[in-house]
């Protein structure tokens, strides 16, 4: 298989501080945990990183431009709802997601028990097969804010087939 000139790659990251109380939302699913991520929306750093990578790969505006944290209508907004809007914009642009790869960096909670649910959630919202979505968890080995358990960071790479208009 050869890649056409209409294929774009995007990379992004996002991180949020952990604060007391739940729920913790990662990759569009609720994970049992005694903390949640502080953010203007629901704080789902996994979907935020993935959406920004997808938008970048498609040559579209970035996440902060589409959903600014200065817009009160985005306060507490579900990242799955944002993903639906991103998917709509991709469709309008004639683009489609081919693959997503992501990594979550945190000391807790463990990501492995939730991988398949997160994979299924992201595959559904972006209209791709689950085997085209990968997610893995890593620790920071006690280094920096993630290593001290102060937050969660996500990194993502997306491969997108661009429409002729993007």
Question: How far is the C-alpha of 91 from the C-alpha of 116, rounded, in Å?
Answer: 26
* Residue 135 maps to a domain: yes
Question: Which of helix, strand or coil describes residue 57?
Answer: helix
16 vs 26, 66, 91, 110, 124, CA distance in Å?
11, 19, 29, 17, 24
The pLDDT of residue 44 is above 80: yes
- Nearest-CA neighbor of 155 among 46, 39, 1? 46
Does 33 have pLDDT greater than 60?
yes
Q: Could you tell me the sign of the dihedral formed by the alpha carbons of 17, 111, 34, 121, in that order?
A: positive
Query: Residues 93-115: what's their mean pLDDT?
Result: 97
Q: Is residue 166 part of a domain?
A: no
Question: Across the chain, what does the average pLDDT equal?
Answer: 93
What is the number of structural domains in the chain? 1
Omega of the bond prior to 15 within 30 degrees of 0, cis?
A: no
Full domain range(s) for residue 27 = 7-161
Strands 96-105 and 29-31, how do they pair?
Answer: unpaired
Mean pLDDT across the stretch 89-115? 97
CATH assignment at residue 30: 3.30.1330.50
Residue 2 lies in a domain: no
**Which pLDDT score is estimated for 136?**
97
Q: How far apart are CA 94 and CA 63, in angstroms?
A: 18
For residue 116, is it within any domain? yes
């Amino acid at each position: 298989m050869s890649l056409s000139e209409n294929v774009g790659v995007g990379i992004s990251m996002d991180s949020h501080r952990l604060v007391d109380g739940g729920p913790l939302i990662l990759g569009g699913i609720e994970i049992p945990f005694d903390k949640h991520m502080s953010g203007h929306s629901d704080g789902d750093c996994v979907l935020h990183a993935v959406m920004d990578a997808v938008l970048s790969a498609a040559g579209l505006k970035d996440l902060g431009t589409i959903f600014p944290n200065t817009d009160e209508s985005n306060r507490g907004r579900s990242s799955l709802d944002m993903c639906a809007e991103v998917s709509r914009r991709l469709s309008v642009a004639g683009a489609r997601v081919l693959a997503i790869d992501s990594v979550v960096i945190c000391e807790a909670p463990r990501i492995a028990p939730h991988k398949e649910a997160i994979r299924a959630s992201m595959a559904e919202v972006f209209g791709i097969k689950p085997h085209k979505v990968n997610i893995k968890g890593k620790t920071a080995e006690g280094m920096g804010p993630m290593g001290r358990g102060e937050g969660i960071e996500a990194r993502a790479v997306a491969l997108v087939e661009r429409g002729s208009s993007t």
